[in-house]
Every structure is written in C-alpha cells, then in structure tokens.
Structure 1
Amino acid sequence: MNKIRKGDEVVVLAGKDRGRRGAVLRRVDDERVVVEGVNRVKKHVRPNPLKGEVGGIVEKEMPIHVSNVALFNPAAQKADRVGIKVLEDGRKVRFFKSNGELVDA
C-alpha cells in the first residue's frame, strides 16, 4: 500500500519548492510523484506537423521523489508522517502519526 496516492494534498519538504502545497496529479513509479504546481520546468518542444503539434516553450511539472513530500494534515494544518495499520475487519488504512486520525475516513 502506498502512503502517498493520487489526489492527496502534500507539502514539499526539500528542494527549490520547499513549503509549497499541492495535489498529487499522478504517480510515475513507486518512488516518484508529480505534484500540481511543484518542480515546474520549461521544456523546449519541436513542432511536429504530422501530429499537428506547435513548437515552442512549454512549462510543465516534473516528478519529485516521495521522500521529499509529506501528506498535509488538515487537523494540525501542517505536514505529517503517515503510517499503515490493519483494522479489525482486515482493511488496511492510512493514519497520521501525530494524532492517529485516519487519512481515508
């Protein structure tokens, strides 16, 4: 089970965008996520007339390592660590380590 999933609100802990908040747009692999408005780069794109693409400079989000982001805890209004525990009915759920509240409530 992944501790950080698509759609989660996260806070960047390290890097040039430290302190920024954003939603996880997608998981690239087990170790990298793309966060909305974070790690933006300017990419030079060549025109491709066969596909109808116009060339130019495009600004896009690049992946960031999951160790550099933490889940945002709305109760504490800050970044928080996440744990996984198994409930009595056998479901695995995520919880905030600081206060024990369930993330997927």
Structure 2
Amino acid sequence: MAAMAALQSSMAGLSLSSSSSFLGQPFIPSLASPSVTFVDKPCTIVMKLKRWERIECKPNSLPVLHKMHVKLGDTVKVISGRDKGKIGEITRIFRHNSTVIVKDINLKTKHMKSREEGEPGQIVKIEAAIHSSNVMLYSKEQEVASRVGHKILEDGSRVRYLIKTGEIIDSAENWKKVHKEKEKEKEEKAT
C-alpha cells in the first residue's frame, strides 16, 4: 500500500503541459523516495515432462518396481497385438515398466553397422518387449489360456495357479527346469 501511494505522489509531480516539453529533459527522481524491500521466497521450478518421460520414482529416485502376474520361464499366450494367439516362454522381465520378452515373438528387424572395415553390415531379427498386460498364462496340458490366482498350500507355501484349470504353476520342478535351461544357454554362449 505504501509503495502504491509513493508511486501515485511521484506521478502527480510530473505534469505534461503544452508550455514545457517533457521530451529531451533529464528525469530527476525525487530524493524522498520510499524504500522498497524485496522478500526472497523459495521458488520451486516445476519441469513438465513428456508423457513418455514420466517414470514413477521412489523418494531415493529409483524407479518403482511393479508387481506382475508372470515370472521368468512361464509359458504365455499373446492376447493382443500383431502376434495375437502365439505361444511362447518368457525369457526376460523388466519390472520398472511392466514389460516382458517372449521367446521368438514380437520380432523386430535391426540394421547393424559393420564393426570392422572388412566386415559387412547385417540385418538382425531381435525380440522386442511386450507389455505384461498383453500376455496371459497358458497351460500346455489343457491347451487353454487362463488368469492367475494365488493360494496357500498345506505346507504354508504361497503358489500361483491357473483359475480355469486349477493347475499349479509355481512348483519346485518347474524352477529347477528353468534354472537348468539357463545354465545350458550360458554354457553354449561361452563356447
């Protein structure tokens, strides 16, 4: 309020009359100008991210890992997209954005440059990620896709099972089988 009153009084002192020209004269501010104080307030700058850049993070700035209904080694059926109806096994899981890579499904072509001078370039087919909501667990024995349920067995272990068939997915034999296959693949890559 005081600053506004001081501004009005200083403006009243200036008059533009026809007898004296204001242009070309130096402006001399009044000596009795009121003091104006500025208060430093913390200003938070909010940066707007694009839709594809938004990643939900924890307070320690690590991405939030989402729970998914599928695990490594599960047999799944693709229920939407270009490869709808295809059946494959999950080889890799990305929990921060809920995507999975299914073996021999959603193949994309990648053009590779030559690494050395004499070597020619290549066109390689690679498996791209699929969102986990676009796959459904599949029973090989019953040949049916089903949603997943959770139950606790008599020994106290919590397992997943297929709702349509009642088949238990998380068994010790399945995990041993998956680990053996992974070890074989690592040995093949090493040789």
TM class by smaller structure: 0.7 to 0.9
Q: Give the gaps of 5 or more residues in structure 1.
A: none
Counterpart selection for 1:38 from 105, 113, 117 = 105
Q: Deviations over 1:3-39 (max 9, x none)?
A: 3112111110000000001111111225111001111
State the TM-score, normalizing by the size of structure 1. Answer: 0.83
Q: Residue 48 of structure 1 is aligned with which of 115, 139, 142?
A: 115
Q: CA deviation at 1:82?
A: 0.8
Partner of 2:123: 57
Structure 2 counterpart of 1:69: 135
Question: What does residue 11 of structure 1 align with?
Answer: 77
Percent of pairs with identical residues = 38
Q: Which of the pair is proportionally richer in strand?
A: 1
Structure 2 length normalisation: TM-score? 0.48
* Corresponding residue of 2:186: none
Matching residue of 2:57: none
Task: Report which structure shows greater RCO (CA 8 Å, sep ≥6).
Answer: 1
Is 1:92 aligned with 2:137? no
Cα separation, partners in 2 of 1:24 and 1:39, compared to 1, 3 Å: same
Q: CA deviation at 1:89?
A: 3.0
In structure 2, what is the equivalent of residue 23 of structure 1?
89
Offset at residue 87 of structure 1 (A): 2.6
Q: Give the Cα separation in 2 of the matches to 1:15 and 1:64.
A: 9
Superposition CA RMSD, Å:
2.0
In proportion to residue count, which structure has more helix?
Answer: 2
The aligned counterpart of 1:80 is 146
Say which SS state the counterpart of residue 159 (structure 2) adopts: strand
Question: Which amino acid in structure 1 is aligned with residue 168 of structure 2?
Answer: L
Gaps of 5+ in 2: 1-66, 172-191
Q: Which structure has the larger Rg?
A: 2
